[in-house]
Amino acid sequence: MTEEETLAALADPTRRRILDELATLGEASATALAAPLPVSRQAVVQHLAVLERAGLVSGRRHGREVRFTVRPDALTSTASWLTRLADRWDARLIAIKRLAEGDATDVGAGDEPTTEAGNAD
């Protein structure tokens, strides 16, 4: 399971709603999940299959039905990745702000900032 798979699964608002319902209920069948949604039970089953492939839910047979639960590990992993990404962008924005305000200690008086490829702007 990768962040791309998780984010792709979470991109659909119906799947996010299904996850919210499962988080509230703890465990539910596709039939129970379909009840409050404006989609068919079969559509919910297809959404659950996407969520299961992404590692966001797991299903287990309980009699004649399959009950699904949220698997928080994939969400935790993706949230950590997003936090690291946001931290890197924050650091970049702080560096840009310092350069724009003339507070950068690593840029000399006559130096011009360069792009990552080393070309002057």
pLDDT value for 53: 93
Give the C-alpha separation, 29 to 69, whole Å: 9
Indicate if the pLDDT at residue 104 is higher than 70: no
Are 27 and 68 spatial neighbours (Cβ–Cβ below 8 Å)?
yes
pLDDT value for 119: 44
* Domains in the chain, CATH or no CATH each: 3-71 (1.10.10.10)
Q: What's the Rg (C-alpha) of the chain?
A: 23
The average pLDDT across 3-7 equals 86
In degrees, to the nearest 5, what angle opens at C-alpha 65 toward C-alphas 62 and 67?
A: 65
pTM of the model: 0.69
Interval 14-73: pLDDT, tens = 999 999 999 999 999 999 999 999 999 999 999 999 999 999 999 999 889 999 999 988
Round the average pLDDT of the chain to a whole number and report it. Answer: 85
3-state secondary structure of 103: coil
Indicate if the pLDDT at residue 121 is higher than 80: no
Are 70 and 106 spatial neighbours (Cβ–Cβ below 8 Å)?
no
pLDDT value for 68: 97
